[in-house]
């Protein structure tokens, strides 16, 4: 065979279609740096194919053809994920059969064409066939199963539940009597100070100390009703466990970005508020239809978070996402400082003449990622304790900057700050039975409101409650703005969620009740 083999032309055409299909389908979440990394991997792959083919053809054409067929099959399998992710789970053999058949048909066609046509005609035939072979998987990926793909580029559109239906079924209509600007500050792994002392040995949390100094009223025995981050925020925004339980795993977190209608956001929007979400990165998806703004400080990437299923992402484009990770630190930030970016967005939001609801997800703090434990072990967490002292101080400084920006022009704004979950030191109980260490470690968080007297008649009064949840605090805030309206149906109680079960936080109180 000649050096400029029709087989190489065929493989190049397949690669071209796979690349263009990926860019077209995932345009909203694929970054320029993704494309640079994928292009680099593609060029290396094609260069390797050419070199290997030229080496093997000197030993016999059939050996070269066999190797190229193998490489072509690898490329098809790893890059026609548009089709792969549209199939139901457990369809591995169907996927392999379809791609192997397409590769075989294409290769046989090119080999046969080369023997009969020769020269430029064979090259042209190989190019045409290479463009057609991936067409079927790409076409199938755009069919009826397209909505089940792991990527969330826009809202769930036609399949989304109507916001009015959500509010009517799971909450009661609320009319606000006053409309101050409201800021919900979700502090990643924002853990209660007493738990930091009991589980890490930290005598004081710089973050909690700042909240006291800044004039927050801090609540005691605060719990998140669900954990980790996406689940905690989904519960707050859902405002009802039954709606929370309807969310599928691949849709977790997308309420925050407005891809799924949220009763909480809907209540505020129905009362004339603009709703904005600010986050460090696109871990909650990209902007949907049910928020007015969704801003991230770190560039969205197809390789990050839950835009693609993990088993696809780990191999797509022959490891292109792994190459991208090597250069993340130089490509991801829109600003030199994530908080510079977020402060700038807060300044822009304040220019609007409408009342504002802003949900800001803030990091640090960070949760523990080491070996999980059955109980407190200061020796095992010594290094994490040292790290925590530093990032809690940084979290305090970040919160100070946010508060300075909010109150300098708007001292009447209501700021509700709360942790999304705890330290995550504990191992999940293997027997499914909750234990004291697990609940306090995972669910105990800090919580506070600024100004300290904000909604004083609606938030739990000191000494009169055993515990409070973050969802309950948000509900109390809604009741405050409506001067007594209760968004929950009669009899609703705030409980913790563990798997598909609920539990009461009362036995797990971790701070003395004030005034008792």
Q: What is the mean predicted confidence (pLDDT) over 395-413?
A: 93
Six-digit token string for 230: 């996406």
For the cut 60, the answer to whether the pLDDT of residue 334 exceeds it is no
**Quick one: pLDDT at residue 314?**
63
Taking all residues of the chain, what is their mean pLDDT, rounded to a whole number? 80
Average pLDDT over residues 337-357: 89
- Closest by Cα among 333, 278, 338, 343 to 301: 333
Q: What is the pLDDT of residue 205?
A: 93
pLDDT exceeding 70 applies to what percent of the chain? 75
Fold of 184-298+354-388+411-508: Alkaline Phosphatase, subunit A (3.40.720)
Position 355 scores a pLDDT of 96
Give 322: exposed, middle or buried? Use CB within 10 Å, 0-12, 13-18, 19+: middle
Measuring CA to CA, which residue among 148, 141, 23 is closest to residue 82? 141
Among 289-293, 435-439, 509-513, which is the least confidently predicted range?
509-513
Element (H, E) at 419: strand 414-419
Output the pLDDT for position 183: 97
Q: Is the dihedral of CA 302, 304, 306, 311 positive or negative?
A: positive
Dihedral, 107, 112, 114, 117 alpha carbons, nearest 10: -140
pLDDT of the residue at 309: 61
Q: At what angle do helices 316-326 and 61-79 cross, to 10 degrees?
A: 70
Q: Exposed, middle or buried, 419 (CB in 10 Å: 0-12/13-18/19+)?
A: buried
Q: pLDDT per residue over 300-328, tens digit each?
A: 777 776 666 665 666 666 777 778 877 76
Could you tell me which of 513, 503, 490, 491 has the C-alpha nearest to residue 432? Answer: 503
Q: Report residue 494's pLDDT band, with 50, 70 and 90 as the boundaries.
A: very high
Query: Looking at the chain, how many residues does it have?
Result: 516
> 360 vs 41, 267, 299, CA distance in Å?
37, 18, 17
Q: What is the pLDDT of residues 369-395, one digit of tens each?
A: 888 988 888 889 999 999 999 999 999
Query: Each residue of 212-260: pLDDT tens digit?
Result: 999 999 999 999 999 889 899 999 999 888 888 888 776 788 889 888 8
CATH 3.40.720-classified regions of the chain: 184-298+354-388+411-508
Answer whether 445's CB lies under 8 Å from 418's CB: yes
pLDDT at position 158 is 34
HSE-CB at 511 with a 13 A cutoff on CA atoms is 25
Output 145 or 400, whichever has higher pLDDT. 400
Alpha-carbon gap, residue 62 to 56, rounded angstroms = 9
Average pLDDT (160-178) is: 73
Look-up of token digits 């978070």: 305
Percent of the chain scoring above 90 in pLDDT: 36
pLDDT given for residue 148 in this prediction: 40
In the prediction, which pLDDT does 154 show?
36
- Is the pLDDT assigned to residue 53 strictly greater than 50? yes
pLDDT at 3 over 60: no
Pairing of strands 444-445, 274-279: unpaired
Average pLDDT (61-78) is: 64
């Amino acid at each position: 065979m000649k050096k400029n083999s029709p087989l190489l032309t065929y493989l190049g055409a397949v690669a071209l279609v796979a690349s263009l299909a990926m860019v077209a389908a995932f345009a909203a979440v694929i970054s320029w740096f993704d494309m640079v990394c994928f292009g680099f991997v593609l060029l290396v792959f094609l260069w390797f194919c050419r070199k290997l083919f030229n080496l093997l053809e000197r030993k016999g054409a059939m050996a070269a053809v066999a190797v190229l067929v193998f490489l072509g099959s690898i490329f098809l399998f790893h890059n026609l994920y548009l089709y792969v992710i549209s199939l139901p789970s457990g369809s591995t053999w169907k996927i392999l059969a379809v791609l192997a058949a397409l590769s075989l048909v294409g290769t046989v066609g090119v080999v046969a064409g080369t023997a009969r046509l020769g020269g430029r005609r064979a090259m042209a035939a190989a190019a045409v066939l290479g463009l057609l072979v991936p067409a079927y998987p790409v076409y199938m990926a755009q069919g009826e199963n397209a909505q089940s793909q792991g990527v969330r580029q826009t809202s769930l559109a036609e399949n989304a539940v109507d916001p009015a239906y959500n509010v009517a079924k799971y909450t009661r209509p609320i009319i606000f009597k006053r409309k101050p600007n409201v800021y919900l500050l979700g502090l990643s792994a924002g853990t209660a100070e007493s738990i930091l002392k009991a589980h890490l040995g930290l005598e004081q949390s710089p973050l909690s100390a700042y909240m006291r100094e800044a004039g927050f009223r801090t609540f005691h025995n605060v719990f998140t009703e669900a954990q980790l981050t996406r689940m905690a925020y989904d519960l707050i925004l859902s405002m009802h466990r039954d709606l929370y339980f309807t969310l599928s795993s691949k849709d977790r977190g997308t309420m925050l970005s407005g891809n799924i209608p949220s009763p909480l956001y809907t209540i505020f929007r129905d009362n004339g508020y603009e709703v904005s979400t600010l986050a460090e990165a696109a871990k909650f998806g990209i902007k949907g239809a049910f928020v007015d703004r969704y801003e991230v400080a770190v560039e969205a990437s197809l390789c990050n978070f839950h835009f693609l299923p993990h088993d696809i992402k780990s191999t797509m484009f022959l490891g292109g996402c792994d190459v991208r990770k090597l250069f993340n630190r130089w490509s991801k930030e829109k600003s030199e400082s994530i908080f510079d970016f977020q402060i700038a967005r807060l300044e822009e939001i304040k220019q609007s003449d409408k009342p504002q609801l802003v949900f800001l997800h803030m990091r640090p703090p960070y949760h523990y990622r080491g070996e999980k434990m059955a109980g407190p072990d200061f020796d095992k967490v010594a290094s994490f304790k040292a790290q925590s002292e530093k990032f809690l101080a940084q979290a305090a400084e970040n919160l100070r900057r946010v508060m300075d920006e909010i109150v300098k022009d708007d001292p009447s704004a209501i700021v509700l700050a709360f942790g999304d979950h705890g330290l995550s030191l504990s191992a999940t109980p293997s027997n499914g039975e909750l234990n004291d260490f697990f609940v306090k470690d995972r669910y105990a968080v800090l919580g506070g409101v600024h100004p300290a007297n904000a909604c004083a008649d609606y938030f739990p009064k000191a000494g009169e409650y055993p515990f409070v949840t973050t969802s309950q605090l948000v509900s109390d805030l809604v009741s405050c703005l409506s001067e007594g309206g209760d968004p929950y149906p009669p009899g609703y109680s705030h409980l913790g969620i563990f798997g598909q079960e609920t539990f009461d936080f009362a036995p797990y109180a971790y701070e003395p009740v004030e005034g008792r």
